[in-house]
A and B are shown apart, each in its own frame.
Chain A
């Protein structure tokens, strides 16, 4: 947890430049939109089939990741880099292991009974599965938003936002009020709830609940936010609101979003990873590239078939 919460200014404009201390490499990702290819951290952490990586500073690097449920391999040999402070979308047909993959990044995968894994997930160069990393601590840096809004039903809006701080033991009582306002503003919910912070979290509409969950995730001051189909249970208007929010958070947080909705991926993400399912029913990474390229001129025939709606 960083020292100064005010540093993450809520009022910052959409394209706030990333804070230097978050950079994995000295090269700022802000140079990327121009297209200057940057080598992915250590030796071409290969995106299979991809040209020598054209990914900016990698916040997360996945190497030869396999994920299992008991004897069943759900995800096979995934290696990829996830760019710092960008939005990376993961798309693919149902059952191809997208969510399983996402949950391996903050070690939620291991909470499932009989789940296991091998390979590496490096966060700023540190393998999150190495023995010296504590999963509980890890999850403070890698937050998560779920498919169905899940505010804690026994807590007020206020208490929901600060739940992570209070229950995680990182709370300094003094400025909880400040945290609540800052995070609710960041989640675009402040104006709607500022007069009823003591109302129950579940009294809000579905879209508001989801934004409350995003505010809750922001409150513990993570660097990475994982979103597992965050809008699939919401109506189009609420969905749009979430997408706008993601674009506002871009640049300050590394966001990984799993989505069934290809339009959503193309609207919000900088990079897109396409997963598919092999003969053995294990999900694997078909290709990963800039979102524009995946949707216009992908390298793989399979990707093209999927994004053009020919299957899946």
Chain B
């Protein structure tokens, strides 16, 4: 019942002055409230995770954690072997995945036929959704069983398998956003197609491609399951020994959190905060660097 609206035969001036009905005002308020509540439901868990990691981790994140390896037995020591392992394995995984992912993204966006593009896109989407523990088992069969040895290289490969589809999809999508006029402008100068792609299209989409890489790196840095079957984890500092087991921050957190020893629980919180800062640091530094150069 819209009581407040004057009858049709009222003058326009009267109808304008009548204002919004109370009912519409209520619906509007309810709608806004729901949207706000949904937003909070998204933000609150994120904020809570950040809050707990910082609150609980800050105390445990000290110089010892950063600079000392774990002791062979018992508590004490640090997580040196863990963050070194994460940096190495994620680094190698990125080195493997970036060329493959970007090249695949370029292929789908610039050269593949309609059907091939759809098939590859579908495959990538499936890959992004595959539970990471399956990737771990796959690489375990491929690179651990034949050598009868858990090794960090297998860990890197597993992480790379996880990163590639993320980079491929993002690259493909941001290349699709580059205006056709730019490609044509380059081709019309007699620039070959491959050179147009590498020197005009890709640089134009640089920021977006970097975002894809960062998403992939962050995802890889946070993975635990695929490393359980591959790099295994270790209490020893391992630098460059990709043929041997290697630890990672996630494995350190996993083991520490399961431990009945309170000191190890605390160290796990410290490692969690360290992991968070590591990912954040990479993210920020890459973004700052990509902001240099000529801007639109």
Contact = CB atoms under 8 A, between A and B. Distances in A.
A4 B239 CA distance: 58
Interface string A102-114: 0000101001000
Contacts of A138: 190
Interface stretch (A31-39, A88-96, A142-150): A142-150
A111 B187 contact: yes
Interface string B196-216: 100110011010000000000
B291 to A, nearest CB: 13
Nearest to A113: B114
B3 interface: no
Interface of A: 106, 108, 111, 136-141, 143-144, 146, 148, 150-156, 163-164, 167-169, 200-202, 213, 216-217, 220
Nearest to B294: A200
B191 A202 contact: no
A148 B181 CA distance: 8
Contacts of B295: 200
Contacts of B200: 152, 154, 163, 167
Contacts of B195: 167-169
B182 interface: yes
B27 interface: no
B118 to A, nearest CB: 14
B192 to A, nearest CB: 5
A155 B182 CA distance: 12
Contacts, number: 88
Q: Select the residue from A108, A111, A217 with max chain B CB neighbours within 10 A.
A: A111
A151 B181 CA distance: 9
B189 interface: yes
B204 A153 contact: yes
6 contacts: A136-B193, A146-B188, A150-B181, A153-B204, A163-B200, A200-B294
B114 to A, nearest CB: 8
B296 A164 contact: no
Nearest to B196: A167
B189 A168 contact: yes
Contacts of A106: 188
- Top 6 A-B residue pairs of the complex, sorted by shortest distance between their CB atoms: A164-B189, A140-B190, A144-B188, A150-B181, A154-B203, A139-B190
Q: Select the residue from A106, A143, A155, A201 with max chain B CB neighbours within 10 A.
A: A155
B104 to A, nearest CB: 21
B146 interface: no
Nearest to B192: A136
A17 B182 CA distance: 34
Contact of B182 (A141, A152, A217): A152
Contacts of B293: 154
A111 B195 CA distance: 16
B185 interface: yes
B64 interface: no
A152 B188 contact: no
B74 interface: no
A63 to B, nearest CB: 23
Given A148-B181, A152-B200, A164 B206 contact: no
Nearest to A199: B294
Nearest to A157: B294
Nearest to B181: A150
A144 B188 CA distance: 6
A168 B194 CA distance: 11
Interface in B141-167: none
B191 A146 contact: no
B184 interface: yes
A61 to B, nearest CB: 21
Contacts of A200: 294-296
Contact of A163 (B184, B186, B294): B186
A1 B179 CA distance: 29
B294 A153 contact: yes
Contacts of A143: 188-189
A140 B192 CA distance: 11
Given A150-B181, A152-B182, A167-B199, A136 B190 contact: yes
Interface in B14-52: none
Contact of B191 (A108, A155, A167): A167
Contacts of A108: 184, 187-188
A121 B148 CA distance: 67
B185 A146 contact: yes
B86 to A, nearest CB: 33
A150 B179 CA distance: 9
A164 B294 contact: no
A136 B188 CA distance: 8
Contacts of B179: 150
